Homo-oligomer: A and B are copies of this chain.
Amino acid sequence: MPRRDGCGPPWFSGQLRGCGRRLTAARELILDVMSRKEGHFSVEEVYAAVRKQYPRVGLVTVYRTLTLLVEMGLLACHEFGDGRARYEMIRGSKSEDHHHHLVCTSCNRVVDYRDFIDDEVQLLKKTEAALSKRFRFKINDHVIEFYGLCEKCQK
């Protein structure tokens, strides 16, 4: 696949080289697609979007690139229980972008929410401390998800 410079952010090439990696058209394109889209996407969905611009990209490359972008801290990967991973752009720093999820169990739509989590996060800190002590775990992360039916799927 031929290179196509300039569709991605300028720091991307540097960040790749910084860890001994190379800038390729596939990587630029996939990052570009992900950064334009708002929401959570399966590998197949990303693959379809990328293929519209470059039909030569293989599914395997999409898998590999998404994994790479997660390692680089640019994407987050979630599993909402339907057996396929979803990828989401992290906007801003990881901690700034922290949010929780609301998942429709019928249509699999996922809504991020950031507005109501201040109290949650504060309580989680306390809970984390208590759990850490009690079970001697070093806690690194948490997941809060609500499951239900979205407006459309209630009808």
Q: Write the residues of chain A forming the contact surface with B, with a CB cutoff of 8 angstroms.
A: 79, 81, 102, 104-105, 111, 113, 115-116, 119-120, 123, 126-128, 130-132, 134-151, 154
Contacts and interface: CB of A to CB of B under 8 A. Distances in A.
Contact of A140 (B105, B137, B144): B105
A119 to B, nearest CB: 6
Contact of A138 (B127, B143, B148): B148
A151 B136 contact: yes
Given A102-B139, A104-B137, 17 more contacts: A111-B137, A113-B131, A113-B134, A115-B134, A128-B146, A137-B146, A137-B148, A137-B149, A138-B154, A139-B147, A140-B148, A140-B149, A141-B148, A142-B146, A143-B143, A143-B144, A143-B147
Contact of A79 (B79, B105, B130): B79
A127 B137 contact: no
14 contacts: A102-B131, A102-B137, A111-B135, A115-B134, A127-B146, A137-B146, A137-B151, A138-B154, A139-B146, A141-B146, A142-B145, A142-B146, A143-B144, A144-B144
A65 B130 CA distance: 37
Contacts of A119: 123, 126-127
Contact of A143 (B130, B132, B141, B145): B145
